[in-house]
Amino acid sequence: MMVERTTYDRVRERRVSHRVEAKTTAGQVEPQRGKPQDLVLAFLGSVVLDRFDDRPVPTRVFLNLLGRLGVSDVAARATLSRMAQRGLLARRRVGRETAFTLTDRSREVLREGEDRILSHTPFDHAGDVWTLLAFSLPESRRDVRHRLRTRLSWAGFGPLRDGLWIAPGTVDVTALLRDLPEIADDEAVGAFSAVPRPPARVDAMIRKAWALPQLRAAHEEFLRRWEGTEPEPETLPQLARLLADWIRLLRTDPGLPAAHLAADWPAARSTAAFHGLHDRIESPAIAEFAALLDP
């Protein structure tokens, strides 16, 4: 559905925010949580991709779904237009209706990292391997430096020191920098995999590169919203909200080694909460969407 640890990151140039919203009871319209494009992408990746690829989705279906997620018709139409301009959707005329289909680019974006999204161990990294990326960009290239730092943050890297960023596991840096041509072939940027050796202290390295209280808070926010939540009568908007929140959490927590985290680290609870609800609402949500396509 999306690149590992960089879900939707190539089409959304902003940092992750953690907004606090109260749960709502079934049948209520929830205040908008997250950007409409995140909700659309979550819906497309979980329901449309590989199931309804050959079916144009009428504008009325998007308006129906986003309206139940607290997005106005004006904002929904503007989101669809922007996504079409960016090559993520293609407009079609179906009779008297305007509809949208997936594009090659959106399929690529949605498939990236699909394994991690549905994994039962999405925050685990086998072994002690870390990916290190070093760069040295002068002040005259400040804009490029900023874009690189932002991209690294999205991809789960943390700054160990100025110009040296690290991430757990093995990261495909070539794919990460593919749409940053001014950086991808730059000799000022280098990446390699490594295993920490004494006197390196992994615990201290993690605390320096990542704000662990903020990562924990992101998990606790997800759990507050979703742990113990029951399926709602309208499962399609619930599925879109769940996946958008889950993808945001996967982007926030790179999956730091459990051996170096507190025993009560909440990643396993978050995973159980996601699958506990997702596995119950996916099929009825798909059926609900099919009914919207053919009213």
Per-residue confidence (pLDDT) for residue 111, from 0 to 100 = 85
For residue 231, which phi and psi values (nearest 5 degrees)? -60, 140
Could you give the CA distance from residue 121 to residue 137 in angstroms, rounded to a whole number? 36
Per-residue confidence (pLDDT) for residue 34, from 0 to 100 = 60
Could you give the CA distance from residue 44 to residue 249 in angstroms, rounded to a whole number? 19
Cα torsion 263, 266, 271, 277: sign: positive
Per-residue confidence (pLDDT) for residue 23, from 0 to 100 = 33
CB-count burial class (<10 Å; 0-12, 13-18, 19+) for 53: exposed
Asked whether the beta carbons of 1 and 110 are under 8 A apart, the reply is yes
Q: Where do the CATH 1.10.10.10 domains begin and end in the chain?
A: 1-124+211-295
Residues ≥6 apart with Cβ < 8 Å to 108: none
Residue pointed to by tokens 């779904």: 65
Asked whether the beta carbons of 166 and 205 are under 8 A apart, the reply is yes
CATH code, residues 130-195: 3.30.70
Each of the 295 residues of the chain gets a pLDDT tens digit; together they read 543 334 344 444 333 333 323 333 333 334 445 689 999 999 999 999 999 988 999 999 999 999 999 999 999 999 999 999 999 999 999 999 999 999 998 998 888 767 788 999 999 876 789 999 999 887 778 888 888 888 898 788 999 998 999 999 999 898 888 777 777 666 788 999 999 999 989 999 999 999 999 999 999 999 999 999 999 999 999 999 999 999 999 989 999 998 899 999 999 999 999 999 999 999 999 999 999 998 7
Per-residue confidence (pLDDT) for residue 126, from 0 to 100 = 67
**Segment 255-282, tens digit of pLDDT:** 999 889 999 999 999 999 999 999 999 9
CATH 1.10.10.10 fits 1-124+211-295, yes or no: yes
**Both tokens of residue 50?**
């590989």
Q: Where do the CATH 3.30.70 domains begin and end in the chain?
A: 130-195
